Amino acid sequence: MGPRGKWVEVQIRTKRMNEIAEKGLAAHWKYKEGTASENRFDKWFQQIRESLNNEDLDSVNFLQDFKTSFLTEEIYVYTPKGDIKMLPAGSSALDFAFAIHSAIGAKTIGAKVNHKLVPISHKLSSGDQIEIITSNKQTPSEDWLKFVVTAKAKNKVKEALKEEKKKVADEGKYTLQRKLEGMGVTMYQGNIEAIAQFYKLQSNLELFYQIAIKTSTSGN
């Protein structure tokens, strides 16, 4: 009975019981496999949370990234201060940079592995010590997707590329508006969608983007 004369129900459960109640069969698997799997289990949930934070998540890409970054062997690498980071085998220096912090990854221009200068695509091995080199002028490029393997790195690169595409598309939208006004045509959603469909483009954003890059290359 509580202090105010009301009956209360109390549940007492172990850490294992609590995790199984909260996380279901996945937590049961964790304890069945033993303590050696705990890091993999916690890493799994962390990767899922990071991937689901991406509003434009593609389920097929997510499953592929998850399989690549989790269902593989791990390597253990070190920061210059001696902190350990666990990454999937085949991870690059850029994967390590994003594992440290997203803002660091986005500005990475190179790295020092065991005190030797290497490109950001350099594949890491267990025991490597990595120091990341950054520049405020650096921005992610589509080429980065060819050599990053962790779900976090891939998602952050894709997000950055989409933001950059939106900025370019805004210029294309302004160009289209001027062209239509010059023809005496009002720019509204129906017209834009009709033009996008005519050129077999998947979205208005893609239409604006294509106009912007073609205008910049032609000079018109």
How high is the mean pLDDT in each 10-residue block of the chain (220 residues)?
79 72 56 52 64 58 57 80 87 95 94 95 93 94 92 90 83 83 80 83 81 65
User: Within its chain, how far is the Cα of 127 from the centroid?
Assistant: 25
Name the burial class of residue 132, with classes exposed (0-12), middle (13-18) and buried (19+) by CB atoms within 10 angstroms of its CB.
Answer: buried
For residue 36, the model assigns a pLDDT of 46
pTM reported for the whole predicted model: 0.58
CA distances from 203 to 54, 62, 147, 169, 180 (A): 19, 22, 28, 11, 19
DSSP letter, residue 12: -
Q: Name the nearest CA neighbour of 46 among 15, 10, 86, 75.
A: 86
